[in-house]
Amino acid sequence: MKSTNLKILCFMLVFLLPKPATAQHVAVIGDSLAYPIAVQLQRLHPSVTVHRNSLGGTGLVYNYQTWQSQSQSFLRRYNPSITFVVLGTNDTNNISPDIPFQSPQWNITYAERVTFIINTALRYSNKVVWIGAPPMRNQNFSNRIQHLNTVVRQTIQSINNPNVVFFDCFILFNNTFVPSFRASDGIHLSTSGARHIARNML
């Protein structure tokens, strides 16, 4: 009888005690801002495996074909539960002489490229979070970044999928350039800046 009761108790404990959380796999893909964000995300969440693919100086204006292939091959390899996309800092330029930045055709073309990256990520991930570029020290550049972020945000709104989210760094940084969060060039992130973003991502 005692042996039977012990077995029943052990059986109950197996199902009632909290089970250890399964390690989560996430991916951070994008330009040079993606790398420090991914590093800090890994340090803040050691139980999470962070796969990163950072290509400095790239974006969806001059390097769209690169990111078409990179996003597919990289995400297919890891099948992360969440994909974080960090692209846009290098994209405030004309797509071609006939498609100048901020023109209606630029907005349409860039939105199509954003949609492709998001749809690719959704093929291999449960959730996609697009990290909008933060405020820049140069006000003119910062205004251009705001326009680009607006195009991305509106694109995500049109996709209308609760598993696709725009992460607004302008709001996170209180719409101001924070020197301590940035490198000396006023564009790239300092360790504290990357950590501030990463702390709010998961």
For residue 110, pLDDT over 90 is answered with: yes
For residue 202, pLDDT over 50 is answered with: yes
Mean pLDDT over residues 191-200, rounded? 98
Residues 6+ apart with CB under 8 A from 12: none
- State the pLDDT at residue 22: 42
pLDDT classification of 7: cutoffs 50, 70, 90: very low
Length of the chain: 202
Tally the C-alpha atoms within 13 A of residue 119's C-alpha that lie toward its C-beta.
10
pLDDT classification of 6: cutoffs 50, 70, 90: very low
Q: pTM for this structure?
A: 0.88
- How many other C-beta atoms are found inside a 10 Å radius of the C-beta of residue 83? 28
Looking at the DSSP assignment, which residues form a beta bridge with residue 86?
30
H helices within the chain, ranges in order?
A: 2-16, 34-44, 64-78, 104-124, 139-159, 169-172, 191-199
pLDDT classification of 18: cutoffs 50, 70, 90: very low
Q: How far apart are CA 80 and CA 51, in angstroms?
A: 8
**Burial of residue 137 (number of CB atoms within 10 Å: 0-12, 13-18, 19+):** middle
CATH (one of 3.40.50.620, 3.30.420.10, 1.10.260.40, 3.40.50.1110) for 26-199: 3.40.50.1110
Express each pLDDT in 133-192 by its tens digit.
Answer: 999 999 999 999 999 999 999 999 999 999 999 999 999 999 999 999 999 999 999 999
* CB distance 71 to 29 below 8 Å: yes
Domain positions in the chain: 26-199
Express each pLDDT in 41-97 by its tens digit.
Answer: 999 999 999 999 999 999 999 999 999 999 999 999 999 999 999 999 999 999 999
Express each pLDDT in 121-133 by its tens digit.
Answer: 999 999 999 999 9
